[in-house]
Amino acid sequence: MELARQYIVNEKDERIAVQLDIETFNKIEDTLENFALYSLMQTDNDDELLDLQDAKSHYEKLKS
């Protein structure tokens, strides 16, 4: 993924922040959310396990 970024600098010309276009930000956010959901689904614990459809439904509720 190509990251078109612009840096915000302070008066000493030190990078203090980065600015991304919204499309890139949305891709990064979706990737992180998907990875987190996948990681939770892979966790082996004694909690109730969700099938794929229940997991998708739960994920959609979390997004809203």
Predicted confidence at residue 46, as pLDDT, reads 60
Query: How far is residue 14's CA from residue 10's CA, in Å, rounded to a whole number?
Result: 6
Query: How far is residue 54's CA from residue 3's CA, in Å, rounded to a whole number?
Result: 34
Q: How far is CA 29 from the centre of its chain?
A: 3
pLDDT band at 47 (very low <50, low <70, confident <90, very high): low
Dihedral (Cα; 24, 27, 32, 34), 10-degree rounding? 180
Taking only the tens place, the pLDDT of each residue in 20-40 is: 999 999 999 999 999 988 887
Q: Are 58 and 51 in contact (CB under 8 A)?
A: no
SS3 25: helix
